[in-house]
Amino acid sequence: MNSEKITETFLKYFEKHKHKIVPSDSLIPEMDTTLLLTSAGMVQFKQALLGKQKPIAPRVANIQRCFRTGDIDEIGDRSHLTFFFMMGSWSFGDYFKEGAVDLAYDLIINGYKFNKDKIWATVFKGNKQVPKDIETKKAWLKYLPKERIVELGEKDNFWIVGNTGPCGPSTEVYYDRGKKFGCKKKSCKPGCDCDRFLEFWNAGVFIQYNKTEDGKLEDLPMKSVDTGAGLERFAALLQNKDSVFDVDIMIPITNKIKSLSKKQSKIEIRVIADHIRGAVFLIADGVRPSNLERGYILRRILRRIIRNAQLLEMKENYMEELVKTVIKTYEGTYYKGFNQKEILNTIEEEKQKFEKTLNKGLKKFKDFNFKKTISGKDAFFLYQSFGFPIEITKDLAKENKLKVDEKGFEKEFKKHQETSRAGVEKKFGGAGSFGEKVAAQHTATHLLHQALKEVLGNEVKQAGSDLTPERIRFDFTFDRKLTDEEKKEVEDIVNKKIKEALPVKLETISLKEAKMNAIGLFEDKYADKVQVVSVGKYSKEICAGPHVKNTKELKHFKIKKEKSSAAGIRRIKAVLD
C-alpha cells in the first residue's frame, strides 16, 4: 500500500466514524508559545484537551507534519526521524479507552489488513500517582491473547509533550517483524531495545490529567483520547521495507543522495535524507537559520547535511538537486505551495556561510589530536570559532572513537550566553549613538510585534528581524498583504505606546519560570536562564538584546514598506525618527 493510500485509508476510516478531518498545523506552533516546533498532532489541540477551549468537534483526525529534536541522535537507525508525518485522531470528552481500542484494532486488521498474529499491545503498568490501566488491558483482551499484552512503565506508556500540560497513560500497538530483526534474547518483547517489535501506533494517550510545574497531576474536567501514528513507520511495515528510509515517499530522496555521492555510506545517507526533508519543511513554514531557538535547530541540521555531503563526496550542486527532489516528492499531497526559490536561496546562503569555516574547523580538529575525550571547552571552541553544532563534533568523535563531554559543552554554552549578553549590554549600553539607536529599535520591534498581533490576530509570529542604524526589518508569519488601514493601525498603536512613556524592564529568570508563564519560544536545551523584556504591561518577550529604559526614547515610529518575504511570511521595514 503506498503512502497516499495509507493516509487516505486513515482519514476515510475516521471520517466514517464521525471524526472531523482538519488540516495540518504549521511546524511553528500557532497555539502554543511554550513549544518551539510542532512535535505531535495534539499540539494544536492542547487548549481543548485542557478544557480551556471548546474543541472544534467531539471527534477529529488529521495528518500533521512534525519535528522532534529529541530524536536527533537516533537518526541513522531503522525507525527514527526528526521530521515525519503523523496520522492522528482525537476524542474530546467523547469515547474513551474501550472505544479507542475498538477503533484501532478494527482499522489495523480490517482496514490495513495487518497479520493479526503479529500484533502486540502495551498498556501502562502504573506508578505511585497513576494506577495500572486495567480498563485498557480488558479492552485489548477482546482481541489479543494476554501474552501479547505487555505492561510497561512511564518511559514507554505515559505520554506528555514537554514537562507540563495534558497527559495520561497510553496504549501502543507493536508489530512483530520477526527474529531476523531481533536481539534473539528470550526476554525480547515490546519495550526491548532491538528492532524486532516495532511500535507503529500510539493508539491512545488517555488524557485525563494536567501535569503542573511541581509535578502534580490534576484531574481534567473531561477525558480525552489522543492517538498518533508515524506514516513512515506504517509504510515500512505495509510495504515490507527494512527501514523508514526505504518507503515510497523516502526512496526518491535516498536514491537521489546515492546518485550524487561518490562514497556510499548508509548512516550518512540516512542523516542527509532525514535532515533535508526537515530543513525544506521548516523553511517552507517560515523558519530561517539563526543562532536562536528554532532558527538554530534549522542551522544545526543544515550544517550536518553539509558535513555529511562532504564525507560522501557529493557532487557540487547536490543541495539544489536534493531540495528539488524533496519538493517534487511532497508538493500537492503533503504540502501546497512550496516556495522553491526562497527555500533554495536560504539553504545556499547557509551553505556558503558554513563552507567558509568547515574545513578550517576540521583541520583544527586534527591539530587538537584529541585523546579519548573532547572537553566541553574544546567542543565549544569548535562551535564558537567554526560554527560546529554539537552534532558535528559528536559525529567527528564517533568517527575517531572519542567521547565528547556534552555536559561540559552545555556549561560553556551557557556561560558564553551570559557573558555575551553582558557584552552586548556594555557595547550598546547607552554611550555611543549607534548603541542608543539599536536599543531603541529593539524596543520598537517588541511593540511592533505586539501591535501586529493585536491588529492581525494572535497567530502572527515573529519569523526574523534585522536592525541597522538606518532601519528596522521585521519578518512575521502572515499570508496576505496588509491593507493601508491595517498598517496605519499598527503604526498608531506603536506611537501611542511610545507616547504613554512605558517603562522597559529587563529581568533574568529561569527557563522553567518562563515556560510556566508561557513567555517566548524555546526548546533550547542549553540555556537555563533567559532575559525577559517587559514593555509596560503591553508586551513581554524573551530577548537578549539591549533596550531603552522608557518607550518615550523611541520618539516616533513609521512603517516604510510592507511586502512578501517568503511564502506565508511578510516583511516590514520601518524607521524611528
* DSSP codes joined into one string, 358-387: HHHHHHHHHHHT--SEE-HHHHHHHHHHH-
Q: Does 228 bind ligand SER (CB under 6 A)?
A: yes
Return the CA Rg of the chain.
Answer: 25
Q: Are 505 and 540 in contact (CB under 8 A)?
A: no
Q: Are 69 and 75 in contact (CB under 8 A)?
A: no
Pattern 41-80, binding to ligand SER, x per CB under 6 A? xx--------------------------------------
**E strands within 93-248?**
119-124, 149-152, 158-160, 165-176, 197-211, 217-230
* DSSP codes joined into one string, 425-452: HHHTSSSSHHHHHHHHHHHHHHHHHHHH
Q: Does 439 bind ligand SER (CB under 6 A)?
A: no
Pattern 146-185, binding to ligand SER, x per CB under 6 A? -------------x--------------------------
Stretch that binds ligand SER, among 14-22, 226-234, 306-314, 318-326 (CB under 6 A): 226-234
Separation of CA 174 from chain center: 25
- Residue 530 pairs with which residues in a beta bridge? 509
In the bound complex, what is the minimum distance in angstroms from residue 168's beta carbon to ligand SER? 10
272: helix, coil or strand?
helix
In the bound complex, what is the minimum distance in angstroms from residue 189's beta carbon to ligand SER? 20
Select 172 or 268, whichever has its Cβ closest to ligand SER: 172
Select 43 or 283, whichever has its Cβ closest to ligand SER: 43
In sequence order, the 6+-apart residues with CB closer than 8 A to the CB of 484 are none
In the bound complex, what is the minimum distance in angstroms from residue 73's beta carbon to ligand SER? 18
In the bound complex, what is the minimum distance in angstroms from residue 430's beta carbon to ligand SER? 48
Select 159 or 476, whichever has its Cβ closest to ligand SER: 159
In the set 26, 202, 224, 534, which binds ligand SER (CB under 6 A)?
Answer: 202
Other CB atoms within 10 A of residue 541 CB: 19
Angle, CA of 537, 540 and 541, to the nearest 5°? 165
In the bound complex, what is the minimum distance in angstroms from residue 67's beta carbon to ligand SER? 12
In the bound complex, what is the minimum distance in angstroms from residue 133's beta carbon to ligand SER? 15
Q: Does 88 bind ligand SER (CB under 6 A)?
A: yes
In the bound complex, what is the minimum distance in angstroms from residue 227's beta carbon to ligand SER? 5
Backbone angles phi, psi at 411, to 5 degrees: -65, -45
Select 72 or 498, whichever has its Cβ closest to ligand SER: 72
Q: Looking at residues 29 to 48 of the shown chain, list those that interact with ligand SER (rule: CB under 6 A).
A: 40-42
Stretch that binds ligand SER, among 224-232, 236-244, 322-330, 347-355 (CB under 6 A): 224-232
Nearest to 220 by CA among 202, 238, 207: 207
Q: Does 208 bind ligand SER (CB under 6 A)?
A: no
* DSSP codes joined into one string, 31-72: S-TT-SS--SGGGGGHHHHTTSS--SSSEEEEEEEEE-GGGG
Select 96 or 159, whichever has its Cβ closest to ligand SER: 159
In the bound complex, what is the minimum distance in angstroms from residue 122's beta carbon to ligand SER? 12
Select 88 or 190, whichever has its Cβ closest to ligand SER: 88
Q: Which residue is nearest to ligand SER (CB)?
A: 228
Q: Are 342 and 295 in contact (CB under 8 A)?
A: no
Q: Looking at residues 480 to 539 of the shown chain, list those that interact with ligand SER (rule: CB under 6 A).
A: none
In the set 25, 94, 226, 268, which binds ligand SER (CB under 6 A)?
Answer: 226
By rule CB under 6 A, what count of residues binds ligand SER?
10
What's the half-sphere exposure (Cβ side, CA atoms, 13 Å) at 93? 15
Q: Does 205 bind ligand SER (CB under 6 A)?
A: yes
In the bound complex, what is the minimum distance in angstroms from residue 344's beta carbon to ligand SER? 31
**E strands within 215-323?**
217-230
Other CB atoms within 10 A of residue 548 CB: 20
Select 46 or 547, whichever has its Cβ closest to ligand SER: 46
Q: Does 100 bind ligand SER (CB under 6 A)?
A: no
How far apart are alpha carbons 423 and 426 in whole angstroms?
5
Q: Does 199 bind ligand SER (CB under 6 A)?
A: no
Select 6 or 343, whichever has its Cβ closest to ligand SER: 6
Nearest to 440 by CA among 542, 558, 551: 551
Select 86 or 521, whichever has its Cβ closest to ligand SER: 86
Taking CA atoms, 69 is separated from 164, 239, 482, in Å, by: 18, 27, 34
How far apart are alpha carbons 344 and 342 in whole angstroms?
5
Q: Looking at residues 387 to 426 of the shown chain, list those that interact with ligand SER (rule: CB under 6 A).
A: none
In sequence order, the 6+-apart residues with CB closer than 8 A to the CB of 228 are 40, 41, 42, 86, 87, 88, 201, 202
In the bound complex, what is the minimum distance in angstroms from residue 40's beta carbon to ligand SER? 4
- Strands 119-124 vs 149-152: parallel, antiparallel or unpaired: parallel
In the bound complex, what is the minimum distance in angstroms from residue 186's beta carbon to ligand SER? 29
Stretch that binds ligand SER, among 220-228, 246-254, 365-373, 380-388 (CB under 6 A): 220-228
Select 169 or 435, whichever has its Cβ closest to ligand SER: 169
Select 63 or 205, whichever has its Cβ closest to ligand SER: 205
In the bound complex, what is the minimum distance in angstroms from residue 201's beta carbon to ligand SER? 9
22: helix, coil or strand?
coil
State the residues that interact with ligand SER by CB under 6 A. 40-42, 88, 159, 202, 205, 226-228
